[in-house]
Amino acid sequence: QQAAEERERIRREIEAIERSLLERGVRIPSSGSEPGSTSDSCEETREEGGGTEVSCPLIEVDAGSDSSEEDDGLLPQDAPTCLSINLLYQELLQERLRDLDGLLQQNWDQQEALKRESLDRDLASGMVRSAQKHLHLGSFLKPYFRDTTSGLGPPDNPETKNMTSCGHKNFTAYDLRRWTEREKESLRQAVLMDSLQSRLQPLVTRLNTTEVKMERMGEDEDKSAIISSIDLMKQDINRVKNLPENELMGDKDDRHDWLKIANFDMAGKRSPTEVEKFWRYSLHPGVNATTWQSHEDKALHKLVSQHGHNAWGDIASRLGTNRTAFQCLSRFQRTNRAFRRKEWTEGENEALIQLVEAMRIGEHIPFTRIAFFMDGRSPAQLSGHWNNVLLDPVAWLSLSYGFFCDVLLLRAVERFGERWFLVAKEVPGRTDLQCRERYVNCLADGLAKGMWSNVEDKN
């Protein structure tokens, strides 16, 4: 049925074209004319030169041998008529293209409607799906605005360029990340291989040069001296390969290819400067990374009082415990009572609250990073003040625990023991210090309960 309707539509279009051609004065032969005869359509014309020209305005077109098809059609040969027919067909094709554009736009609108309907269903069911597929963790990290092609962030503005020229560090320089045991072992092995390669490279080069020289010598020349030299070089190479690790590591200030180590051995996760500093001031075997002893603290403060607060290199060498200058500075600042501030001001409380709200990631609060912005406060002080004072001020004003809180506290202690930071998570509105005081003073086993006896009163 659709094929019949399509044929009927084409027939109507052809009739419309024929009517348009007739209005323009173009003669269209009837379907009953014989395609093989030229007597009706071709005329002979005498030229002035005596020749004969056959003028045939129509050309036969074979429509095929199928009897079910329409009879053969004839197309005109003269240029104006062909141009008119061509223009008519162009208008017809343009009309069909406009119809296709309309249908395509309608299809796009329907697709958008389906997408909106699907998104509304996901929102109603609580399953919002991102339009961007294959997201990874880096998609949510800085820079937040990236070029879609290169993935790079925006260029530096004039203020950033001015700060860089003045020596100010970028924010990424303060984004400290703790070294894992795997990273430490990778760095140690990388330094060993780099040290071994730097020691072997000149020996191997000399050996190769000597072997090439021996190959160029004639058969009648004496090679005993050069052979003995090659044997000595091979012995030196084997000796270097068998060196102990502590000798291969050398001094902490020895030069290494930190760029190669950072990019290849550390997989680009650490910068060359960061790798070099960590090796020289922390990971090298010559650096004393053990816990500070009380006699070291006393000697350190005595040396600081003698040499001042600037000669940390001399202080470290005079201390004689393999501590670096940075370790001495850090330890002195941590143990110096003049740097310890006890009373908290309202400004500090407001600053701490704002920093926690800006930097916290879920339940994790990076107090080490917050300490960079709180002068004179250590991460431990910040953590204690936040958890015990600022976390829930209403809880400090409550006078009684209540039966429900006591039950939660006892169950949490039974589960976690006296790890109060875990216990506090199970008791809403209570800090770890509150949980400890309540349990130790009121709920712990072995506490005498009830009225005081006369004996207790006398004692």
Residues 105-138: tens digit of each pLDDT? 999 999 998 888 887 776 666 554 444 555 666 6
5, part of any domain: no
Q: What are phi and psi of 31, to 5 degrees?
A: -70, -15
In terms of Cβ atoms closer than 10 Å to its own Cβ (0-12, 13-18, 19+), residue 165 is exposed
Give the closest residue to 286 by CA, choosing from 249, 261, 316, 328.
249
Tokens 């009897």 -> residue? 67
User: pLDDT digit string (tens) for 31-78?
Assistant: 444 433 433 444 444 444 444 443 444 434 343 444 444 444 455 567
CA distances for 431 relative to 271, 396, 410, angstroms: 40, 9, 15
Domain assignment present for residue 370? The answer is: no
pLDDT given for residue 67 in this prediction: 40
Residue 81 lies in a domain: no
- pLDDT of 400 over the 80 cut: no
Q: Are 193 and 233 in the same domain?
A: yes
* Cβ-contact 278, 327 below 8 angstroms: no
Least confident of 292-301, 350-359, 373-382: 373-382
Residue pLDDT, tens place only, 403-417:
778 888 889 999 999
Sign of CA dihedral 371, 377, 380, 381: negative
Structure tokens of 329?
């500075």
pLDDT-derived band at 302, boundaries 50, 70, 90: very high
Q: Are residues 267 and 292 in the same domain?
A: no
Q: Are residues 248 and 198 in the same domain?
A: yes
Give strand pairing partners of 76.
58
Task: Please report whether residue 281 resides in a domain.
Answer: no
Please report which residue ranges of 169-293 form alpha helices under DSSP H.
181-216, 224-241, 245-249, 258-260, 272-278
Average pLDDT over residues 296-307: 92
**Two structure tokens written together for 85:** 């027919």
Tell me the per-residue pLDDT of 156-206, one tens digit each, with 9 for 90 and over: 889 888 888 888 876 666 667 889 999 999 999 999 999 999 999 998 999
Q: What is the percentage of the chain residues whose pLDDT exceeds 70?
A: 77
Return d(Cα 385, Cα 391) in angstroms, integer. 8
Q: What is the mean pLDDT of the chain?
A: 78
pLDDT at 298: 92
Residues 267 and 185 in one domain: yes
What number is the average pLDDT over the span 306-318? 90
For residue 450, is pLDDT > 80? no
Q: pTM, whole model, 2 decimals?
A: 0.46
Which amino acid belongs to residue 313? G
- Least trusted range by pLDDT, from 41-55, 366-380, 394-408: 41-55
Please check the confidence at residue 13 and state whether its pLDDT lies above 90: no
| Higher pLDDT pick, 250 / 429 | 250
What pLDDT is recorded for position 301? 92
Same domain, 262 and 316: no
What pLDDT, on a 0 to 100 scale, did the predictor assign at position 40?
Answer: 41
Residue ranges making up the domain that contains 222: 177-273
As given in the structure block, the two tokens for residue 57 are 């305005």
Percent of the chain with pLDDT over 90: 15
Give the C-alpha separation, 148 to 126, whole Å: 29
Please tell me what DSSP assigns to residue 50. Answer: S
pLDDT score recorded for residue 275:
92
CATH number at residue 411: 1.10.10.60
Domain count, the chain: 3
Is there a domain that residue 76 lies in? no
pLDDT of residue 27: 57
* Among 309, 324, 339, residue at a domain's last position: 339
Give the closest residue to 284 by CA, choosing from 309, 256, 255, 249. Answer: 249
Q: Residue 69 has what pLDDT?
A: 41
Indicate whether 199 and 251 sit together in one domain. yes
Rg of the chain taking only CA atoms, in angstroms: 46
Residue 264 has pLDDT above 80, yes or no: yes
Read off the DSSP letter of residue 279. Answer: I
Task: State the Cα–Cα distance between residues 214 and 221, nearest whole angstrom.
Answer: 10
What pLDDT is attached to residue 338? 75
